[in-house]
Amino acid sequence: MRTLSAVLVLVFGCANAQSHATEPLAPPETLAPVLVPTQPSPASPVAASPDAPYGGTLRSVEFLATTVLRKEPRSDAARVGIIRKGTRARAVRAAPAGDGCAERWIQIAPRGWTCETAVDPSFDEPTAAGPVSLSEPDEPDLEPVVPGVYGVVRGADVQAYETRADAAAGAGRVLSGPHAVRAIGVVDVDGVRYWRTSQGKLIAASSIVQISPSTFRGIALDGELPAWVRTRGDPRKPARTRATPDPGGEVVGALAPRTIVTILAESDDGRFARINDAEWVARADLRVAALATPPPGVGPDDRWFDIDLDDQILIAYEGERPVYATLVSTGKWRHETPAIIARVASKLERAHMISENDEPYSVADVPWTMYYDGNFALHTSYWHDGFGGPRSHGCINLAPRDARLLFRWSSPDVPPGWTAVYADEDTPGSLVRIHSRKVPDPAFRGYARTLRDRGAAIASAGSRRPRIGASKAGQ
Q: What is the pLDDT of residue 419?
A: 97
Domain range annotation of the chain: 33-122, 147-212, 230-286, 303-459
Asked if pLDDT for residue 202 goes beyond 50, the answer is yes
Give dist(CA 337, CA 188) in Å, integer. Answer: 43
Closest CA to 160 of 132, 129, 181, 131: 181
- Domain 33-122 matches domain 230-286 at the CATH topology level: yes
Query: Residues 249-298: pLDDT tens digits?
Result: 999 999 999 999 999 999 999 999 999 999 999 999 999 999 999 999 89
Give dist(CA 126, CA 129) in Å, integer. Answer: 9
When pLDDT is averaged across residues 201-220 and rounded to a whole number, the result is 96
Q: What is the pLDDT of residue 271?
A: 96
Closest CA to 428 of 313, 330, 299: 299
Asked if pLDDT for residue 185 goes beyond 80, the answer is yes
Q: What is the pLDDT of residue 47?
A: 43
DSSP assignment, residue 357?
S
Asked if pLDDT for residue 48 goes beyond 90, the answer is no
Asked if pLDDT for residue 11 goes beyond 80, the answer is no
Give dist(CA 365, CA 383) in Å, integer. Answer: 12
Asked if pLDDT for residue 1 goes beyond 60, the answer is no
The CA–CA distances, whole Å, from 76 to 24, 94, 103, 115, 444 equal 19, 18, 16, 12, 29
Domain 230-286 has CATH 2.30.30: yes
Query: Residues 38-47: pLDDT tens digits?
Result: 343 333 343 4
Closest CA to 433 of 344, 367, 351, 365: 344
* Stretch among 83-97, 121-135, 213-227, 324-338 having the lowest mean pLDDT: 121-135
**Residue 130 or 87, more confident:** 87
Q: What is the pLDDT of residue 75?
A: 97
Superfamily designation of domain 33-122:
SH3 Domains (2.30.30.40)
Query: Residues 371-419: pLDDT tens digits?
Result: 999 999 999 999 999 999 999 989 999 999 999 999 999 999 999 999 9
Asked if pLDDT for residue 432 goes beyond 70, the answer is yes
Q: What is the pLDDT of residue 130?
A: 83
Q: What is the pLDDT of residue 356?
A: 72
* Stretch among 28-32, 232-236, 278-282 having the lowest mean pLDDT: 28-32
**Residue 239 or 223, more confident:** 239
Q: What is the pLDDT of residue 139?
A: 58
Contact yes or no for 308/290 (Cβ under 8 A)? yes
Give dist(CA 29, CA 365) in Å, integer. Answer: 11
**Residue 221: what are its φ and ψ, rounded to 5°?**
-105, 140
Closest CA to 75 of 120, 113, 119: 113
Asked if pLDDT for residue 475 goes beyond 90, the answer is no
Banded pLDDT at 243 (limits 50, 70, 90): very high
* Stretch among 76-80, 430-434, 444-448, 455-459 having the lowest mean pLDDT: 455-459
**Residue 5 or 422, more confident:** 422
Give dist(CA 292, CA 449) in Å, integer. Answer: 19
Q: What is the pLDDT of residue 41?
A: 37
> Residue 140: which residues within 8 A CB-CB, separation 6 or more?
none
**Residue 6 or 125, more confident:** 125
Give dist(CA 207, CA 154) in Å, integer. Answer: 5
When pLDDT is averaged across residues 428-456 and rounded to a whole number, the result is 95
Calculate what percentage of the chain has a pLDDT beyond 70. Answer: 85
Contact yes or no for 116/105 (Cβ under 8 A)? yes
Closest CA to 316 of 303, 299, 329: 303
Asked if pLDDT for residue 472 goes beyond 60, the answer is no
Contact yes or no for 52/93 (Cβ under 8 A)? yes
Give dist(CA 261, CA 375) in Å, integer. Answer: 35
The pTM (predicted TM-score) of the whole model is: 0.87
Query: Residues 135-183: pLDDT tens digits?
Result: 766 556 778 899 999 999 999 999 999 999 999 999 999 999 899 999 9
DSSP assignment, residue 17?
T
Give dist(CA 240, CA 253) in Å, integer. Answer: 6
Q: What is the pLDDT of residue 131?
A: 83
Average pLDDT, the chain: 87
Of all helices (H) and strands (E), which one includes residue 28?
helix 28-31
Return the CATH number of the domain spanning residue range 303-459: 2.40.440.10
